[in-house]
Amino acid sequence: MRQAIWTAIAAGALVGVPALADIPTEISDNRVAVETAWSVFVEDDPKECWVVSAPQSWTARRGGSDVTSQVTRGEIGLFVTFRPATGVAGEVSFTGGYPFRENSTVTVEIGDDSYTLFVIEDWAWPAPEEDASLVESLKAGVDAVVTGISSRGTTTRDTFSLIGITAALDQAASRCTE
């Protein structure tokens, strides 16, 4: 589905957004492993595995001022998902705990690497052809800084530890083979 959404966005043809039911929007009770900062989850019907981490720290700025203590956010998570039935192996996504500003993007910085993610409501994804490169950067990095802009104009910067992500990805990939 993400490929179809990305294609529609790239073509400027996205009028209405289809239901994003295949995106893991809730942390389930099916956590099967923890690798330092990363948790591994598995669902069986249909088979889906993902790794997720919450940020180590975050800041919020609006109008040039730090408003971190005034901002309330929902669940924040950086995900990498595997869905063997649909051929998805390593799809990166991010939820910022708020709706993103319409027509904005989210950036992910890992060392010298930078990625742009497109947004729909409170989720963000890289272009499908960038998933593999982003996953390799995540595996090679120390931390990832994710910056987004809320629908209210607040800029957030979430810092995620990448310690344990390689082991977590290995666990998820091995548990999600068909």
Q: Domains along the chain? A: 28-175 (2.60.40.1880)
Structure-token pair, residue 66:
């730090």
Taking every pair of Cα atoms in the chain, the longest distance, rounded to a whole number of angstroms, is: 50
Are 132 and 88 within 8 A, CB to CB? no
Over range 145-153, report the average pLDDT. Answer: 97
pLDDT of the residue at 28: 59
Are 76 and 95 within 8 A, CB to CB? yes
Are 121 and 74 within 8 A, CB to CB? no
List the single range of 30-34, 102-106, 115-119, 160-164 with lowest mean pLDDT: 30-34
What's at 65, amino acid-wise?
A: S
pLDDT tens per residue, range 8-51: 333 333 333 322 323 344 555 688 888 889 999 999 888 999 99
Over range 153-171, report the average pLDDT. Answer: 96
pLDDT of the residue at 80: 97
Q: How far apart are CA 169 and CA 40, in angstroms?
A: 8
What pTM was computed for the model?
0.84
